[in-house]
Amino acid sequence: MMRKFFFLALICLSVTNIAVAIEDPWKILVDAHQASKTLNYQGIFHLKNFKEIQSMEITHAMHGQDEYTRMTLMDGEPGELLSHGKNTFVYHSNENNVVIQKRAHHHLFPSVLPSSPENLKKVYTLSFGQVQRVADRMAQMLILIPKDDFRHQYHFWIDQETALPLKMIVSNKSNEVIEQASFIKLKIIGAEKDLSWFKPRIDLSKEYVMDEKEEVILPGLKFWTFRKVPKGFSEMNATATRNKEINVLSHHLIYSDGLSYISVFIQPVQTGLKPKVGSISMEGTNVSATYYRGYQVMAVGTVPMSTLESFTKSISF
């Protein structure tokens, strides 16, 4: 009798857990976002972009209320990324020096999920897959299938213990893998009191040179519109860089649906130069370019070509 009661209790508990998951299945994405931002961890993950595979070492820590991230490229030419809050610096080593580029933010694995899933609900359907082992940790598979043809499908493996994303696969509608990131080693660490690790270590014998560009605040400077922005995509950032030699502005816009990102470049074509027109795919990244009223318009992103053409073919000013 006791054994039967225990068995029935397990069934009831399982039904309750399923009901909770169905009631708010998107909450796991919120937890995963929070974990990637607030957990202290160290690890190594493999990043596969089309046919190229690279290894990245990552250290992520909270120091008080501040978030610190350091990524080191372990293959090929030395490279590092240091991020503190919303400020990100990328370090590239070349033959003579180390070039530093400042970026406003980064959306790199495992910090790839948005803080809110509300926009994702409009353009993706969410389902649960199997529980599998990734980096010697049990992870719940999540599948995000697009509701249209303007974005790719995503698979995530979320750590059952911490909710940290352990693996991600981006694939097209033919199930061809376009991008993949997966931890092969992960360690959850305690509170970080020492920040001596948060500094570049590429090649201290070389001179560090800042790649500075004069950025211009865009409000009031926009002279274009897009007649056909795909559903779910909205402008996340807009900057303009002044070309000092010819005193003109080149514009860079970033659009996103929360998972997919598109860069749109609008820049005047100098006299005597031939603009690029057409489309090309490069190792999973698509590029669409057109020429419109004296301007080169180019859209770049890991999205279907039709998504990029929605921007390049619908610009107007």
| Structural domain 215-316, CATH architecture | 2-Layer Sandwich (3.30)
Q: Please report where in the chains the tokens 């004296």 appear, as a residue.
A: 294
3-state secondary structure the chain: CHHHHHHHHHHHHHHHHHHHHHHCCCHHHHHHHHHHHHCCEEEEEEEEECCEEEEEEEEEEEECCEEEEEEEECCCCCEEEEEECCEEEEEEECCCEEEEEEECCCCCCCCCCCCCCHHHHHHEEEEEEEEEEECCEEEEEEEEEECCCCCCEEEEEEECCCCCEEEEEEECCCCCEEEEEEEEEEEECCCCCCCCCCCCCCCCCCEEEECCCCEECCCCCCCCEECCCCCCCEEEEEEEEEECCCCEEEEEEEEECCCCEEEEEEEECCCCCCCCCEEEEECCEEEEEEEECCEEEEEEECCCHHHHHHHHCCEEC
pLDDT at 296: 97
CATH node for 15-208: 2.50.20.10
pLDDT at 3 over 50: no
Least confident of 99-103, 131-135, 262-266: 99-103
Q: Please check the confidence at residue 7 and state whether its pLDDT lies above 70.
A: no
Task: Report angle CA 293, 296, 302 to the nearest 5 degrees.
Answer: 135
Amino acid 241: pLDDT: 83
Alpha carbon distance 113, 164 (integer Å): 10
Mean pLDDT score of the chain: 87
Q: Give residue 24's pLDDT.
A: 79
Residue 4 has a pLDDT of 39
Per-residue pLDDT band for 8 (boundaries 50, 70, 90) equals: very low
Domain residue spans of the chain: 15-208, 215-316
pLDDT tens sequence across 90-131: 887 776 777 787 776 668 999 999 999 999 999 999 999 999
Residues of the chain with pLDDT > 90: what percent? 63
Q: What is the pLDDT of residue 64?
A: 87
